[in-house]
A and B are shown apart, each in its own frame.
Chain A
Amino acid sequence: MILAIASGKGGTGKTTVACNLAAALERPVVLADCDVEEPNAHLFLKPHWDVTIPVTVDVPVIDAEKCTLCGACQDLCQFKAIAVLPETVLTFQELCHSCGGCALVCPAEAISWGSRQIGERRTGRRGPIHFVDGTLRIGEAMAPPLIRAVRQAAADIPDCAVVLVDAPPGTSCPVVASLWGADYVLLVTEPTPFGLNDLALAVAAVRKMGIPCGLVVNRCDIGDDRIHAFARRENLPILLEIPFERKVAEQYAQGHLLVDVFPEWKAMMRGLYDAVVRELERGTSGASLEGRASTLETREVSA
């Protein structure tokens, strides 16, 4: 099972839930931190690192000897990554999406492939937890290829029935890359107007992908009850509510796993996992596991 932990709004507790869930299960699981822009799970899990490998994307390299300056590559490129000038060709590698189109259309076969590093991927262990994360190079804009590399590494780890994915905030392409192929999404939110607004966007994104989802309401006592009304209206199960506790916030701040400090957190996280399994067995939550067709007409929700 691939269980993703996501949220529209940042800072709602995705990483806290992902790390503590992984630790509470006490059996072989993979935890994949897909928030490659700001990877944080390792700060709490403190894994022993195994390997770190650079992650690269393909970029065109133009052989000036062969190039006839015909302009076919520039015409095809939708990302303005190639500019054909009167006497030379410029490539803007950071704009390239590695679609391969330029090499395909070049009549002179002047384009070959080079690589550009966008970040690195690490794997490590902590007890029965296999850990994978990615770190985007500072200044690099393109996160999705690195996220796909992290997901692939997670999928390649043998003998783990459960893969937990810690997703980045938002609702755009990095989130799609992180959640792709997940069986269930836990949306972590907080009962505030910002939390609700961004939750509605996240629910729409998850439904567009045809993945069933349920809610974790963190700091459930700090705001108002509009999240609950929203959940009822949208037929979204609330699988866990976590009250705000200063002592918990202080332990989190110092980088401690909450299941190590508070025994009740272990029970709470196991209960959350069981609730997800029950939801999947029931196949409720608005989307069937088999087909996406049933969810494609799901209307876009807005707050």
Chain B
Amino acid sequence: MKELVVISGKGGTGKTSLVAAFAALAGKVVLCDADVDAADLHLVTHPRVVETHDFVSGHEASIDLERCTRCGLCRQWCRFGAIDEAFRVEPLLCEGCGVCAHMCPERAVDFFEKTCGVWHVSETPYGPMVHARLGIAEENSGKLVALVRREARRLAESRRIDLLLTDGPPGVGCPVIASIGNADAVLAVAEPTVSGRHDMERVLALAAHFRVPAAVCVNKSDLHPDEAHRIAEEARKQGAAFLGFIPFDPVVTRSQVDGRSLVDYGETPVVRAIQEIWEGLRALVVGNAEGVLKPSEGKPKAWETAQA
């Protein structure tokens, strides 16, 4: 079983639309939505939810004001400023470290496990899908990402499906790190803008840091062809396989509004470009026996130079 994770660094470059199109082209896959704090893949894959589970992770403190003597030790030791003058815990600031509970001489701090989201196993026309929803303004997104990926892997193995397609989150922080660890390859979807190139470079540096082989494509490439070519060049320079350009076409938005896969709209230039990229990915990820796609060698590119 191989896992391909689609990431981008910059948000809104078209990760989810591409994942949905790849799913339609692939035939049988397991899908995983690892963008747990703004999950969108379910909007275009029509999942029928068959299992729902609570995501219980971490703790939160709550002070019993009946028992509290206002001695102030908890406020003194809380490094997150989460306890106000009235000895109420602000849940949005509490990191669940338990220092207040430990320090309280009256044992007035209730330190309880938190439910910070739900996760689902669903059936889609393309195969099973594991997706989740992190609670609003919650923490532990990295742990939820790790959980959905683990469940998706298990599903792929038990159903003998040889490809896991994961829709990753934007950025390079905690949830992205949790999304790409031990993946067989990442595809970074860039857009031809100065910010798109900057963010692609950082996300490739991240893939190199964790020694995950990377490939790159540029979406909406004709909005700024020069920048698109610079991205292709830079990607190759950073040791990534460059797989192609996807032109800008309003049909991508239309397919999202209609809730249908892009491939339903016939042989448009966009679909042809995506098909080509998909073939390239297949060759790299599935047929990796020849070792076409190698993990980046050498020292990870330093973040200072990656942003120059």
Binding site for B on A (CB under 8 A): 8-12, 15, 35-38, 40, 43-44, 76, 78-79, 97-101, 104-105, 135-143, 168-176, 180, 192-194, 197-198, 201, 204-205, 208-209, 222-224, 246, 249-250, 252-255, 300
Contacts and interface: CB of A to CB of B under 8 A. Distances in A.
B177 A139 contact: yes
Contact of B137 (A10, A40, A175): A175
B224 interface: yes
B173 A143 contact: yes
Interface string B70-98: 00000001011000000000001101111
Given A38-B9, A43-B194, A193-B40, 10 more contacts: A43-B198, A100-B77, A170-B169, A172-B37, A173-B139, A173-B141, A180-B93, A246-B223, A250-B223, A254-B194
B266 interface: no
Contacts of A43: 194-195, 198
B172 A38 contact: yes
Contacts of A35: 171
B269 interface: no
Contact of B103 (A12, A104, A138, A223): A104
A101 B223 contact: no
Given A170-B37, A254-B227, A78 B98 contact: yes
Q: For A139, A142, A180, A204, which residue has the most chain B Cβ atoms within 10 angstroms?
A: A139
13 contacts: A11-B12, A38-B10, A43-B198, A76-B102, A98-B79, A101-B98, A138-B306, A170-B37, A171-B38, A172-B141, A174-B173, A222-B250, A254-B227
A253 B224 contact: yes
B38 A99 contact: no
B223 A249 contact: yes
A138 to B, nearest CB: 4
B54 interface: no
Contacts of A143: 171, 173-174
Q: For B10, B137, B139, which residue has the most chain A Cβ atoms within 10 angstroms?
A: B137
Contact of A255 (B177, B194, B307): B194
B137 A138 contact: no
B192 interface: yes
Contacts of A254: 193-194, 224, 227
A163 B171 CA distance: 24
B79 A100 contact: yes
Contact of A37 (B138, B173, B210, B256): B173
A262 B12 CA distance: 24
B58 interface: yes
Nearest to A11: B12
A138 B174 contact: no
B149 interface: no
Contacts of A76: 98-99, 102
B257 A223 contact: yes
Nearest to B39: A197
B120 interface: no
Shortest Cβ-Cβ A-B pairs, 8 listed: A10-B11, A11-B12, A99-B97, A37-B171, A253-B224, A255-B194, A141-B174, A40-B195
A209 B136 CA distance: 10
A99 B74 CA distance: 12
B227 A253 contact: yes
Given A104-B102, A253-B223, A8 B199 contact: no
Contacts of A12: 11-12
A192 B306 contact: no
Contacts of B52: none
Interface string B2-19: 000000111111001000
B173 A99 contact: no
A300 B135 CA distance: 10
Interface in B257-305: 257, 259, 300-303
A11 B256 CA distance: 16
Contact of B97 (A97, A172, A198, A252): A97
Contacts of B198: 38, 40, 43
Contacts of A10: 8, 10-13, 38, 170
Interface string B123-147: 0000000000010111101100000
B31 interface: no
A37 B172 contact: yes
B192 A253 contact: yes
B206 interface: yes
A137 B141 CA distance: 19
Contacts of A8: 38
Contacts of B59: 78
Contact of A99 (B95, B171, B300, B301): B95
Contact of A139 (B136, B191, B300): B300
B209 interface: yes
B69 to A, nearest CB: 20
B95 A139 contact: no
B38 to A, nearest CB: 4
Contacts of A139: 177, 206, 209-210, 300, 303
Nearest to B192: A253
Contacts of B58: 78
A38 B199 contact: yes
A143 B176 CA distance: 12
